[in-house]
Chain A
């Protein structure tokens, strides 16, 4: 935006009376500055190849999340410092919105954090540009222990054969519903394994009896679309291509057009509200729908925003379409001067009994299965307990992990939202919206 605001003033008015020689020197100086600045930036960006692990180390850590996560993470990091007094942390955290803008900007400025949180929406973007350190050698040497992780979970951090991130926790898709509302109206609770048709019929029934739309329309939600695709034997991506066709998208949009026409979902503008907002304003907590489509580990967070009892089940259809997803990863910046320390901190955060007990299930179920069992036994928060139970139960049914979403995925997501909303507002038929989506995807990942 700088160019747009720049037409401020011209060159200094006094320039005209300078002698040619001083002016030349002046201009040469300017040129030197102009040339030097980007070089300096570039140099800063690629510095830091030498390992400097002795002496006191200050490691910068960056994550997104709320106050609760900040508290837990700070406590866990303090514990590390207690055990390793020469390592201290420079902690930065913020809300999810704007996090990746900031991370990208920090990276561009040659000043990225040594250790940062990332999720599968961006992992390939960063790994594909070699911004993340390949952790394979650390895994092989045992400095980074993933032996207690479910295999599919740590493998979900592999991009192009490189271990780009370590799962900070595990989650899966979860359909959260308002238990209190259903009980009040004597309505049945949804169950895992319901078909999509049954889910919509159930939602219609809820809408009729409770006067609250039974389900948020998830047609704009990539994670719901993804599960549905896998149940059709397709996938979101295959290699560097899309794993679905325009026909699949049309059928998906038509499924939900049917649901909207039957009154099972809210109106388009309310659906949009649910699409556009963060976890605190999901329709299931604002009372505008009886169910929301989220990640199972977000249950405790949702619970904080409502007085009603909530329940969680898998998304409709065959639950084997769901998988052990890394809810988020810890990644190390490739140019970090303290790689070994950063890797050791990841190892600590995921495998140290005390640290894992401190962190609980805030980032999803602990990746280390032994410690997961311990944390589940000692959980006291009822919402957390329930989400652990459901996730552990689902874990029995999980299918194989898909590949990590490819470069351009963030755009595919936003294009899906746009196309689905076009259909929701009745500005396009499902088939037109599907065509539009496919065309946009091709340019996004092409």
Chain B
């Protein structure tokens, strides 16, 4: 994963130095440039073939009535009809939006809080701390795996391990995954439990905070909480920002667990109908791929807007202290 290198990149947002120096190169270096493209071609072909062209195609499809089975040459242009239907005539679309927002708004902050909390604990130097780091990271290695979702469903159904555990304390559990009031919460818990990836990034960020700052703060009489508020949080803010953006995007894209839990239906009673699941059902079960493409594009724009909002608020609370001063 490219995750671990990224905080450094976020922290270095100065003027684009390398690009400017190369700009002076002229025709003489044309051959070299061509060689560059040749070397780039595996990636470029991949980007074009697997991402860019299908994406553009889906943009076009979003204005058509494409139903998968009809050849692409015979699809009908329907203008904005798909978008119109989505916004005005499909209540389950808005339901999916609500479910997804609820999921992201609850699961993402909890996950980040858990990641930061555990990272703070693991940042100390105990014996065997490496083992714990590994153990806490483990769940996110299993990532969006289907196997994990299946285990989760079996743990949280009526006769699952979780209810057996509750029974030890005389508490009668609920059929969590089959209860429309709790199914989504079960998925949130699963998402929060996989806090390993942001935790490792937090840990890396914590390691970079100069100990002098803590020493200085201690000399000034700052207690633990104060040191956390005045030193750790501001120094860590670029990393928090990075994790926030990434996890929010992940949160919106949650699919696998919801798909497995509901057998691909978004049930019980649409309680786990995440946006991507609704999109999948529209495209592959209801064979309305044009409509599904329109949904995908609205989704892309929505995520871009949310990310842009994060970036624009970032300047009020994200401190890139090392960059400007050291260089």
A contacts, CB < 8 Å to B: 1-8, 12-14, 16-19, 22, 26, 30, 33-34, 37-38, 41-42, 45-46, 97-98, 100-101, 104-105, 107-108, 110, 125-126, 129, 131, 269-270, 272-273, 275-277, 408, 410-411, 414, 417-418, 421-422, 425, 427, 440, 443-444
Contact = CB atoms under 8 A, between A and B. Distances in A.
Contacts of B30: 18-19, 22
A414 B265 contact: yes
Contacts of B267: 272, 275-276, 417-418, 421
Interface string B230-260: 0000000000000000000000110100000
A46 B296 contact: no
B69 A125 contact: yes
A42 B71 contact: yes
Given A33-B53, A101-B284, A272-B267, 11 more contacts: A1-B280, A4-B296, A13-B19, A42-B72, A42-B73, A108-B69, A125-B69, A270-B158, A276-B268, A418-B270, A425-B268
B208 interface: no
B56 interface: yes
Contact of A2 (B40, B58, B68): B58
A443 B89 contact: yes
Contacts, number: 152
Contact of B56 (A12, A14, A34, A107): A34
A422 B269 contact: yes
A269 B263 contact: no
A108 B74 CA distance: 12
B263 A97 contact: yes
Contact of A46 (B54, B71, B263, B268): B71
Contacts of A417: 265, 267
Interface secondary structure of A, over-half rule: helix
Interface in B126-185: 157-158, 175, 178-180
Contact of A276 (B158, B180, B263): B263
Contacts of A276: 178, 262-263, 265, 267-268
Nearest to A41: B72
A390 to B, nearest CB: 29
A105 B68 contact: yes
B210 to A, nearest CB: 32
Contacts of A4: 252-253, 276, 296, 299-300, 303
B54 A2 contact: yes
Nearest to A126: B69
B215 interface: no
A19 B92 CA distance: 51
B3 interface: no
Interface stretch (B21-29, B105-113, B189-197, B220-228): B21-29
A107 B296 contact: no
A275 B296 CA distance: 29
A186 to B, nearest CB: 28
B300 A273 contact: no
Interface string B59-71: 0000000011111
B253 A18 contact: no
21 contacts: A1-B280, A2-B58, A2-B296, A3-B58, A4-B253, A4-B276, A4-B303, A7-B307, A17-B29, A30-B48, A33-B48, A33-B53, A38-B72, A45-B73, A269-B175, A269-B179, A272-B268, A275-B267, A418-B270, A421-B267, A422-B269
